[in-house]
Amino acid sequence: MSTNPLSQLLATLDFVWSQAPDVTPELTNIQWRTGDCDAGSILFFQRFDDDLSDAEIYRRYFADSAFAVLVTNRPLNCFDQLAGRGIHVTRPGDWASVVGRFCDLVYPLKTSGLTFIGVTGTNGKTTTVKYLESMLSAQGRRVLSIGTLGVFLDGQPLLETGFTSPPQIELRRLLSVWQDQCDIVAMEISSHALDQGRTHGIPLQNAGWTNFTQDHLDYHHDEAAYFAAKSRILDLIQDGGTLYCTSPAVVSRLREEASQRVPVQLLEPAILDAEAFAAKPFLALDHNRQNYALAVALANGVLGPGAREDWRSLRPVDGRFECQVVGRHTLVIDFAHTPDALETILTAIRQGFPDARVITLFGCGGDRDRGKRPLMGAAVARHSDHVILTSDNPRTEEPEQIIADILTGMPPTGHEVVVERHAAIARLFDWLAERPTDEPWVALIAGKGHERYIDRNGHKTPYSDQDEVERNLRRLGWR
């Protein structure tokens, strides 16, 4: 019997199928990226329902990887090309728990010394987590936040992961590295993460759910599966915890469909005074007051309820209603990239700037839910006086086809197409420059937000809406 801890753990687990290696390897590490493997690696590879064949998976991931042992969640029709290596297939439904056993061995988590808080929802996860981070840090708590913007400790950036919720092994590795330097872990938890078990074994004190609208149907296939994935956050909440939610529709549905082991509490948008709006103008938006109310409820779980003015500690969130005023023009950069997010932010702009006209620049990402494209076009057309359609992470699709899909939801007039995004932003500024100087306009540049790249054909080219706005401000002498 091997004395190697990883080998011993492999031997104790009940797999549905296994292949013994020709030579017993000396196992030294666990990996989820094939490119990080060496001769001592156990590679955990989670197979999804996508367009890749098993043969393509072998060529893309396995052929040039040096792993010693492969663990997968289902049989693959390429195992015969991995002769001589150890292979194990987990039983259905056991994937996350099996990976969790290895994480416990390699990256043990001190759950008794940390408080974990999770936030899910279609939109608003990042803003809610960053608000919560600011509130708790202002009260002297050491906060590690993990989400779309990356990993932060007490508000200072540590690294970017490229994920809203990192994969299970990567998440545990990050927590293992930083757990002694924080008291609270505040996490965005995506539907993908919940469906794939990435947050398995993370004991949430409390959790928040912002809202629920159409998104990610390219992965979940239908709305019911998407909602079911989100609902799995209830399984992570510990006894005595609460799921706080700002959506009446979500609360009603959860109370009808889900177990009542965890109470679900509906929150109303925060009521704030003129001083708060003057100091933090992003709180004038109704959805940000909902995010704020959610963050306050989650902060109360740590600090206890009190007469704090938590809004004073808030900071603008990168790419979330980033706003600057130049004369009669208000320029807004926002990550809004779903029909609901665009509907919400444009409604808020109309309410907050009742005398202004609105020009919106946006696009849709490629290789994602095509069904939301005309819905996004319709939402923007309803609330904008003029629209510029452009590119936004086309990935492997042609930008022109994506734009054509968007146009099916829009009227025949009131818009123009400028495919290249930097040129589209230049056109937006030229449009504003052509307007009468006394005419107020709000320009919404939507979809990229915090992202500093364009993802096309497998390459991420450096790009920033913020940089393009600054470049055009200087070009027109508006700086």
pLDDT in tens, 275-313: 998 888 889 888 899 999 999 999 999 999 988 999 999
Pick from 359, 304, 369: which is nearest to 329 by CA? 359
| pLDDT tens digits, one per residue of 12-40 | 999 999 999 999 899 999 999 999 999 99
pLDDT, residue 10, reads 96
- Among 212-216, 289-293, 418-422, 426-430, where is mean pLDDT lowest? 212-216
DSSP character string of 456-468: ETTEEEE--HHHH
Residue 273: band (very low, low, confident or very high) from pLDDT cuts 50, 70, 90: very high
Mean pLDDT to the nearest integer, 81-88: 94
pLDDT, residue 278, reads 84
Mean pLDDT to the nearest integer, 218-246: 89
Strand-pairing partners, residue 207, are 118, 243
Identify the CATH homologous superfamily for domain 5-106. MurE/MurF, N-terminal domain (3.40.1390.10)
pLDDT, residue 83, reads 87
Proportion of the chain in helix, strand, coil states, percent, rounded to 5: 40, 20, 40
pLDDT, residue 112, reads 84
CB atoms within 10 A of CB 38: 12
Residue 81: band (very low, low, confident or very high) from pLDDT cuts 50, 70, 90: very high
Q: Which positions ≥6 away from 107 have C-beta within 8 Å?
A: 169, 172, 173, 175, 176
CATH topology of domain 322-475: Protein-Tyrosine Phosphatase; Chain A (3.90.190)
pLDDT, residue 219, reads 65
Gap between the Cα atoms of 454 and 61, Å rounded:
24
Residue 215: band (very low, low, confident or very high) from pLDDT cuts 50, 70, 90: low
What are phi and psi for residue 135, nearest 5 degrees?
Answer: -65, -50
Is residue 341 scored above 70 in pLDDT?
A: yes
CATH topology of domain 111-313: UDP-N-acetylmuramoyl-L-alanine:D-glutamate ligase (3.40.1190)
Contact yes or no for 123/341 (Cβ under 8 A):
yes
- Among 139-148, 185-194, 258-267, 452-461, where is mean pLDDT lowest? 258-267
Is residue 217 scored above 80 in pLDDT?
A: no
Residue 218: band (very low, low, confident or very high) from pLDDT cuts 50, 70, 90: low
| pLDDT tens digits, one per residue of 151-183 | 999 999 999 999 999 999 999 999 999 999 999
Is residue 1 scored above 60 in pLDDT?
A: no
Taking the CA atoms of 118, 120, 125 and 126 in sequence, report the sign of the dihedral they define: positive
Common-topology check for domains 111-313 and 322-475: no
SS3 assignment, position 245: strand
pLDDT, residue 398, reads 97
pLDDT, residue 3, reads 85
Share of the chain above pLDDT 90, in %: 85
Is residue 355 scored above 70 in pLDDT?
A: yes
pTM of structure:
0.86
* 156-159/243-245 β-pairing: unpaired
Is residue 366 scored above 80 in pLDDT?
A: yes
Domain ranges of the chain: 5-106, 111-313, 322-475
Is residue 468 scored above 60 in pLDDT?
A: yes
pLDDT, residue 438, reads 93
Gap between the Cα atoms of 63 and 168, Å rounded:
23
Mean pLDDT to the nearest integer, 52-67: 94
Gap between the Cα atoms of 385 and 141, Å rounded:
46
Is residue 59 scored above 60 in pLDDT?
A: yes
